[in-house]
Structure 1
Amino acid sequence: MSRKGTSVERQITEMMSGYTEIDTDYKKLDAQNAARENGAKTSHEIAGSVKITQSATYEKYKLVYMELGHFARAEGLGNDLMRAINPDSVQAYLDQKLSEGLTNNTLQGICSAINKLDDIMNNVDGGRRDWSGIVQECRDYARSNAPDTATEVRRYENPTAVIDAIGDEKCKLAAEIQYATGLRVSDVHFFRINPDDTLSIVSKAGYRDPHYKIPDNLMDRLKEFAAGKDRYTLINYNHYAYELKKACNAVGENYTGTHAWRHTYAYESYHRHRAEGMSHDEARAAVSKELFHERLDVVDRYIGL
């Protein structure tokens, strides 16, 4: 059945309908034992056999799945979420969540939801999806790198010191580009370099700029690394986050994820616009445009208002 024009919420609701047993006589233990009898061996296989039995869990998981669905559509993967949600889009979505500086507990909750989704989708079409390995990598990384508590101030107090302390030159360049532009980490991971020395940006948030300009000195260094290639992967996300956290520790900064560069850029850009004579609302609007955000309340969180 074609899902063209079908809303994300409707598709997610339909997916989950066959994997939900709320206010019924359904027993988790019976489902687990049945799974073992049918050959399930791994914890993921056994846990995946258990349907959702609590309304609170249902609502929480549904919100995660809807966010993933909108993310996949913004990536241009199509309207049919049974196809658009796949290992690649799951990996990209989890990378994006890691970049937002969320707490470990929040990330573990997202991982729990995503870990169930492959079984939910397999139940719909008899598929053999399994992204448990991707989810486990995210869990492990979050335990080691994500903050335990939410941090009110996300920006760096001394961003140049953090950059100077980064030992890996590619990671240093990625940090400099983020600091100079406010781009997300997903936009400095892989580059499409145009002949006119601009970048083709396809943002995780759905924004597209076919000729995005970065400072000339940063473009020159990027081209040196790319060595003539017009498509180039600059960094591995996990290694970049590791190097950034190590640099923060070295200079006494609080590490809150790669998204801290976006907060730092927004804060400094807002105050620069104000110093140049813009009103409060004009400066907020300018930063909103620079960050590819339409909602000023999101910008307010970035600049700490």
Structure 2
Amino acid sequence: MALVGRRDGRNFGYGRQLSYAGPQALKDMFAGGHFATVKAHSDRWQAFVKWCRSADGPGYNDARQIDRSTLHSYATHLRQQIRQGEICIATAQNRLSSVNRTLAALRGDQYVKIASPSKALGMQRSNGRTRAPDGQDHQQVRRVIDALCEHQHHRVAAIVYLARATGMRLREAILANLPRLQREAERLGRINIQDGTKGGRAGASAPRWIMADKEVKAALQFARETSPKGSRHLLSRDDSYAMFLQQTVRPAREVLQEHGLKGFHELRAAYACERYQQLTGHAAPINGGRCIRVDYRLDQQARQQVSVELGHNRIDVVSAYIGGRR
């Protein structure tokens, strides 16, 4: 057993640190097995712990302090992240579900939980995209970039350019190691997206290579030119990631929406649709393509490749970007 103290002690006997206690309780719950499940719940639990310790969180480091109001505050935080394009609805629901599971493991009961993550978020996840993504038109994206630059939002313009050219998430575009990516683009003709990725999906064990065409190279060059002096990414030495989102990214969202771009996540979907068409010769399903009826195997291969390039490695997730199998 991983209990290190009395069951009624700090973190219900699982140690002094909330970040340590959750994974230990999960290992006990699953009796040392189900390693992938424990890892997935633990990664999502760490996101919750990080929020708890943040300026927006309650500052807790003891699971005994967590009650239903804490969980609903976390749901509000996740809802805001969805609206800002940092995470998708499915990710938010999974995080809430994992917090429920981890708290149950820590407490030994299910008294403190969110009964319905979807209701708490006020949003329903969908297995397939039902609306064509914004930003598929490169001319539209160029207009957005120009407008952002006119309003002195140069670093946000770089995020838009990177997200559309490479399919990066918002966090990945902000934290991308630009000098490394430029070297890879020039020497190898492809780049490996590794910085700012989701937990457990970075490093040599999870390579994520993207072909570096002219558009990718131009996006990297633009980002390098807007990167603060002495920085390898889009954050200055005085910026924290949270501060950058609050003070730099958020004020620029109005410009995006004025030019018909709902959010940064739309650019990822636009990238996915474009890559699907390049790989199959058919438009993405959300754009009216019917590749699956012509060549089912080609459709599956393209979905798998797009999944890898987006950093999911799960073929079923791709439907949320390009549309379902119709």
> TM-score, normalization: structure 2?
0.49
Q: Is the aligned partner of 1:155 residue 2:133? A: yes
Q: Distance in 1 between matches of 2:55 and 2:199?
A: 13
Cα deviation for residue 245 of structure 1 reads 4.1
CA distance in structure 2 between the partners assigned to 1:90 and 1:67 by the alignment: 24
Name 1:301's counterpart in structure 2: 320
Give a deviation string over 1:247-291, Cα, whole Å, max 9, x none: 3323xx262x32111111111111111019981111111101111
* Corresponding pairs, count: 214
The 5 A counterparts of 1:103-252 are 152-153=130-131, 155-156=133-134, 157-165=136-144, 166-167=147-148, 168-195=153-180, 197-198=183-184, 200-209=194-203, 215-224=216-225, 225-233=227-235, 236-238=244-246, 239-250=248-259
Aligned-partner Cα distance in 2 for 1:97–1:160: 26
1:274 and 2:280 are equivalent in the alignment: yes
Q: Check conservation: 1:201, 1:208, Cα contact below 8 A.
A: yes
Within 5 Å, give how 1:10-21 maps onto structure 2.
none
Q: Which secondary structure does the structure 1 equivalent of 2:25 belong to?
A: coil
CA spacing shift, 1:9–1:154, aligned 2, 3 Å: farther
Give how far 1:246 is off.
2.4
Compute the displacement of 1:158 (Å): 2.9
SS, match of residue 155 in structure 1? coil
Q: Whole-Å Cα distance in 2 between the matches of residues 291 and 221 of structure 1? A: 22
- The answer (yes or no) to whether the contact 1:190–1:231 under 8 Å persists in 2 is yes
Q: Percent identity?
A: 16
**Once structures 1 and 2 are overlaid, which stretch shifts more, 269-278 or 284-293?**
269-278
- The separation in 1 between residues aligned to 2:222 and 2:88, in whole angstroms, is 27
d(CA) in 2 for partners of 1:300, 1:227: 40
CA displacement 1:97-123 (0-9 Å, x = unmatched) = 342465xxxx9x99xx8xx99xx9xxx
Q: Distance in 2 between matches of 1:87 and 1:163?
A: 39
Indicate how the Cα distance of structure 1 residues 158 and 262 shifts in structure 2: closer, same or farther if over 3 A, else same. same
Could you tell me how far apart the structure 1 residues matched to 2:178 and 2:321 are?
A: 28
Distance in 2 (alpha carbons) for counterparts of 1:229 and 1:9: 43
**Whole-angstrom distance in 1 between the partners of 2:55 and 2:82:** 12
CA distance in 1, matches of 2:323, 2:251: 26
Question: In the alignment, does 2:72 pair up with 1:70?
Answer: no
Unaligned runs of at least 5 residues, structure 1: 12-65, 76-80, 125-141
Question: 2:269 corresponds to which residue?
Answer: 263
- Where structure 2 has 5 or more consecutive residues not aligned to the other structure, the ranges are 5-13, 15-20, 31-38, 58-73, 108-120, 185-192, 283-294
